[in-house]
Amino acid sequence: MAQFTHSRRVQFCDTDMAGIVHFANFYRYMEEAEHAFFRSFGFKIVQVQPDGTVVGWPRVRASCSFESPAFYDDLLEIELDITRRGVKSLSMSFLFRRGETKIATGELKTVCCRHEPDGKFHSIEIPAHYREKLCESTG
């Protein structure tokens, strides 16, 4: 069972000349579902913390495999599951469906990072308030 489901209507600008969703848009859809997942806990994907630091979740790996085309105006259901919760990272899987039709599957790995004022960032342990919500979500 999915930990989180996000619905998205395919926009005309998401399609190619054949009227099929361009493959690169599935990566945007995964990110959109990830952001909605974080918002469901009251978080943002890049967020100023109580101590004034900025925490973000850059991607270190992404993949997507396609099984059936999606078209303009399709309503896609995107199921997000946390497949691994590490000390500093999250791995997520995504299942794209149109009704009962499986469209694609994808994976993202993100690392929790602190962003410094000079633009540099470094990985950190996932802060406790994130871990608590993720534990509630993934059991």
Any idea what the CATH number is for the domain that residue 87 is in? 3.10.129.10
Measured CA angle at 10 (ends 111, 6), to 5 deg: 45
Domain total of the chain: 1
pTM of the full predicted structure?
0.91
Contact 93, 86 (CB under 8 A): no
Each residue's pLDDT tens digit, 74-98: 999 999 999 999 999 999 999 999 9
pLDDT tens for 50-76 read 778 899 999 999 999 999 999 999 999
Domain that holds residue 21: 4-138
